Structures are given as structure tokens and as C-alpha cells.
Structure 1
Amino acid sequence: MTGLRRLGVHLVWRLGGRIPHRLRNVLCVVGAVLVHRLPLGGLKQWDSNFRKVMGRHPTHAERRLLVESWLRNNLMSLSLANWSDEDVLSRCIISEHHLARLRTSLAGPGLVVALPHMGSWDFAGAWCAREGIKVVSVAERLPAGLYEKFREAREGMGMDIHPMGKRALMDALADDVRAGRMVCLLSDRDLSRRGVDVPWPTDDHPLVVGVPMGPALLAARTGADLRVVVTIFRGDSVELRVSERIEVTSVKETMTDVVAAFAEGVDAAPTSWLMLQRLFRP
């Protein structure tokens, strides 16, 4: 079975990496129409997450756009290593003000970026590489050769990847920050069970989410700026929003502010929020 799974991963990557841009867009739109009404577990969980943060049920149109975003993110991840510079640069939407925030931090104390599962974080990394910004991140060790495929693909996009659980990982990331690289960490879901519980701001009942401590600890250790970057799908383009500096104090206070910035992004574009797993504490 392991051999068959590895073969399947290889075939999916080989075929997905060669889908032309126009066909990818058609597959995302048509696939979303076909899938969004199905009683799939991931979609049910997204519905639940959506209701908790938005205070209402998602519409069918929002559910369809969510599936479209999910498909677009995955197909982009499969193919970005094969995109030309023009393919990437022409599809990025970012204001000069937000770009200046990135460059100011990188030219000064260094930069640690916390990201939620929104839009295409792989696209953000590929775009940064084209802008001369060296990106470093951490990836979960996945089975059936998936980790190696994701690592190779992201290296092809211009990023360096450390495996989660690597010995002395924080030391390596601190060295990256000090070398002027932008360290990007997905930070809205704690996979280690060693994170910190913080509130997710809502107008209704309080929500609690467990998040990793890495961004706060790394920024405190290196003196780097800590910012949140949110990516939002705008059709086949991706908008990047860069937050102001997050004040680094205690881990809990710092990550509370990080999650507040995540919540702002979700409120602005909930159909780009690809959280199809359980997120909130009971």
C-alpha cells in the first residue's frame, strides 16, 4: 500500500504541476460547483468554524467560493515551481505601503511572519522570491513521500524548508532571521500540543484557539519584527496584506495580538479561510 500511495503522490504531482493557468481556473470554478453541496467532513467543519467566527451560517455562494479557494490553493502548490517570473508577479496584488512594511523590517531588525491558513501561502513565498526576499519556513513531516514533494516544490519556488521536529530547529530559524531571511510560520493551529490557548475575538460568545508559540519566541529571541501576513484570493490573483508590527511582550499576549490580526483577515475574506479542521477548544 505504501508503494501505491507513493506512486499516487508522484502522479498527482506530475500531472498537477503541468496544468495550464486557464485550465486551472476552469477546474477550480467547475469543481467548486460540483463539490460545494456534498456532505463532506471538511466542509462540515468549515461550516462550523465559519458560524463560530461570523455569527451566522455560510451561504451556498460562500461555500462554493470556499471550495474554489481550496482547489486553487492546492493546484497552485502543485504547479508554482514551474511558473515563470511573469506568471507570479502579474498575479500578486500588494500595496506599496504593505510592501514597504516587509522591506523596512528586513532592512532593520529582521522579520518573523505569522500566517493563517488563508489563500495561498505558497504563492506568497514564490512572490517574495521574485522580489529578492529569501523565505524560510517549516513543514510538517507528512507520509507517503508528501513531505519530500512539498519541500522540493517549495525549494523550486525559491524557499528553504526545515522539517517540523528538526533538532535545534529554533536555533536554525534564529540563524535564518539574523542572516536577513524572512521566516514564515503557519500559526493558527497548534499541532505540537505544546502551544498556548488564546482568545479569538468575536462579538458573540468567547472562542479559544490553541496556537504555536514559535512566532513570539523567535521574535523575542532575535529582536526581529513580528508581523502577520494574510493572503486572499481575488479570482486567479492573490492579494497580500501585511500587518503593522505586533508588539512582542509575553508569549500569550503576543499570540493574542497575532490571532486578532488573523481574525481581521478572516472577517474580510472568509471564503479564503481554508480551515477545514477543528480549530476551537470545546
Structure 2
Amino acid sequence: MKDRLTEFGFAAGWRLVRALPLPAARALFNFAADRAYRQNGPGTQRLRKNLTQVDPQLSEDLVRDALRSYARYWMEAFRLPSQTKEQFLAGFGMSAEHYDWLKTGMAEGRGVILALPHMGNWDAAAAWVVSNGWPMVTVAERLKPEGVFRQFVAYREKLGMEVIPLTGGQRAPLDVLAERLGQGWVVALLGDRDLSRNGVEVEFFGARTRMPGGPAILALRTGAPLIAADLSFTETQTYAVLRRITPPTEGPLDERVKATTQLLADAYAAGIAEHPQDWHMLQKLWL
């Protein structure tokens, strides 16, 4: 019954939230975020601990703003499937220089690896990529219940991307992603939290954590450009800042993977420090 209620809740969200006028939807989700702040449940407490690692002089205003940012992500996610290509393009921004990085990488036919932390609205970023005419693939954690996982796969496929499961697929995810890069695709991976418990240990805001080695392995295996992308919210857009990552070319493979993953961690930290309120990390992260 709990699983069915969870599935129903997500299905209702995708159907009902998009039908609300935008001001009403914003007010509803801000109300929910403020309520979560007052209740101070486990997710809010974990978010506060994570943000304290980022900023030891943490203010409670930052915690409240971060919960509102997280609520905004969900509000926008529920509304994205009803938007047009023109709205996808208008709702996302980056500098002309960074756009040229992506355009050049795609024109070279090697594909591009975008590695992102859990910031801003990564689904809006994906919709923008696809709306530019670039094929894109991503990996999805196999959520429980299974019905929720299927809903998220269908949601992201409707936005135009290919979705492969992290576990339980017919082929290893890295093999599929390397193949897509060879075909000139964009590969987008969330990279600031290890889901396998077998990630690469890195230093992150002065403490140790593990991050997935997949983006580094793909870059070293294929030679495709590796770009860290941090996302933040403006009043009307999700805005991206891109940071090029140059993997080392010498040394044993495991050392190069570790060094490249550390470079990614440093890039994520730079973006998170600039926009900590838009980092949606409500899970345990540091070792």
C-alpha cells in the first residue's frame, strides 16, 4: 500500500502541478518548503549538516533558501513535460563562450561528457540540450518502488533523452555510454554522490567522501571532452557555468581516474560555494 501511495503521489504531481497557474504552484511549493523547515525532519537536518561543511558560518536563512530551491526543482520538474521546445530554450542560460564549448565539442563528433552535482534543475538542462538538436543519454538510479522508477524513466524520455538504468540493464552502463560518445552524443551524469559504495575517494570541502568514477573513466577511455557543469537558479532560468576538466595523460589508469575525479570534485566545490542554496544534497555524503 505504501508503494502504491508513493506511485500515486508522483503520478498526481505530474498531472496536477502542471495544471496550476505558475504563481499558485510557486506559492504551494514555497509553503511546503517552509513547512519542512519548521518541522526540521531528518532531510532538513542532513541538509543543514551538509551546508555547514560548505560554510561553517551557516545562517538559518541559507537552510530555508536551500529548501525553497529544492522545492522549486520539484515544482519545475512536474511542469516540464507540458512545456514547448521554445520554453525549454528560454528557461535555461549560459554564457556565449560556454555555449561555444559545447557546440564545438559536438561538431567534432566525439560527444561531450557533462558531469553535474545535484544543483539547480538538471532536468531543465537536459531539455535544453535536446532542444538544441543534440542527442543525449543519462543514467538513472533504480528507485524503489519500481513504479516510481518507471515514471522517472518515462518523464525523462518524454523530455527527449535516452535513459539507461544504473543496475539491472542488459549491458554495462559504461559500455553503452562509451558507444553513445562514439556516435557523437552528450552524456550527462550526476557526479557528486557515489551510489555504488565503490566510488573514488576525494577531498571535498575539507573532508573525505566518495564520488563515482564513471565520468573520469569515460573521458580517459574515449578521449571525449569532460566538462563539469554547475547549475543555479535565477529569477526566471536555470543558469549553467561550465568548467573544463583536463585528465592527466600519464601514470597508471587507477591513479588517473582518481586524479580526474578529484578535479571534478574541486570544480563542483567551486560552483557550490558560489551558490550553496541551490545544492540539493539531503543525503549523507561525507565519510
TM-score (norm 1): 0.92
Is residue 27 from structure 1 mapped to residue 31 from structure 2 by the alignment? Answer: no
Q: Does 1:275 align with 2:281?
A: yes
Identify the residue that residue 50 of structure 2 maps to in structure 1. 49
CA contact (8 A) 2:105 2:112 kept: yes
| Deviation readout 1:188-244 (Å, 9 max, x if unpaired) | 1111112110111x4xxx311101110011111111011101110113421111112
- Aligned partner of 2:19 in structure 1 is 18
User: CA offset at residue 170 of structure 1?
Assistant: 1.4
Output the amino acid matched with 1:150.
Answer: F
List alignment gaps of at least 5 residues for structure 2: 250-255
Shift in CA distance, 242/95, structure 1 to aligned 2, threshold 3 Å: same
Distance 2:246 2:29 in 1: 35
Query: How do 1:155-194 residues align onto structure 2 when only pairs under 5 Å count?
Result: 155-165=157-167, 166=169, 167-194=171-198
CA pair 248-159 structure 1, distance change in 2 beyond 3 A: farther
Instruction: State the secondary structure of the residue aligned to 1:188.
Output: coil
- After TM superposition, the structure 1 stretch with the greater mean CA deviation from structure 2, 69-78 or 16-25, is 16-25
C-alpha deviation, 1:248, in angstroms? 4.6
Q: Assess if the C-alpha contact under 8 Å between 1:24 and 1:72 holds in 2.
A: no
Q: Structure 2 CA distance, aligned partners of 1:244 and 1:172?
A: 23
Q: Superposition RMSD on alpha carbons, in Å?
A: 1.7
- Is residue 189–residue 212 contact of structure 1 (8 Å, CA) maintained in 2? yes
Separation in structure 2 between the aligned mates of residue 125 and residue 6 of structure 1, nearest angstrom: 24
Q: Following superposition, which runs of at least 4 residues in structure 1 exceed 6 angstroms of deviation?
A: none
SS across alignment from 1:44? helix
Corresponding residue of 1:131:
132
**Take 1:101 and 1:26, find their aligned partners in 2: how far apart are those partners?**
37
Question: Number of aligned pairs?
Answer: 276
Shift of 1:186: 0.5
SS at match of 1:254: helix
- What is the CA-CA distance between 1:26 and the residue it aligns to? 2.4
> 1:114-125, aligned counterparts within 5 Å?
114-125=115-126
How far does the alpha carbon of each residue in 1:76-135 deviate from its partner, in whole angstroms, 9 at most, with x for none? 222211111232222222110111111122222321111101111001001111111222
Structure 1: gaps spanning 5 or more residues:
none
